Structure 1
Amino acid sequence: MSFLGLRKWPTPVARPLWPFIAASTVTFYLVSKMQDLAVRSEEYAKDPRNPYSAQIAKEAHH
């Protein structure tokens, strides 16, 4: 029997959400990798608006 819609035992939260947490982690990783590859591409590496251009130029000389 429930009292005002509350159950006797708490509803599990983490267990049913694990696929969404895993998918979010994979998505975040892949998007960050794609962003890094796009920033370092030939077209944008020498663009003065690129905030990482100095870092890319410094790494290219090594």
Structure 2
Amino acid sequence: MAFLGLRKWPTPVLRPLWPFFAASGITYFLVAKAQDIGVRSEGFRNDPRNPYAAQIAKEEHH
């Protein structure tokens, strides 16, 4: 008999969902790399709307 909807044994959560956690981490990493490559591309490197323009210019002088 379930008491307040709780079972005798806990329902596994992490074991069946580990592929989704791994895929979300990989997707986050790849999107971040794509953004970094896009921000540093030749067409957007010197764009005044680029929030990383000053940082990229500082790194190029070294």
Structure 2 length as normaliser, TM-score? 0.89
Matched, 1:10 2:10: yes
Partner-residue secondary structure (3-state), 1:9: coil
Consecutive unaligned residues in structure 2, runs of 5 or more = none
Matched, 1:39 2:43: no
Matched, 1:29 2:29: yes
Q: Which moved more, 1:31-40 or 1:6-15?
A: 6-15
Root mean square deviation, CA, Å: 1.2
Cα deviation, 1:20-55, whole Å, max 9, x if unaligned, reads 000000000000000000000000010001000000
The Cα shift of 1:7 comes to 2.6
Structure 1: 4+ residue segments shifted above 3 A: none
Matched, 1:56 2:49: no
Q: What letter corresponds to residue 31 of structure 1 in structure 2? A: V
Q: Percent identity?
A: 70
Consecutive unaligned residues in structure 1, runs of 5 or more = none
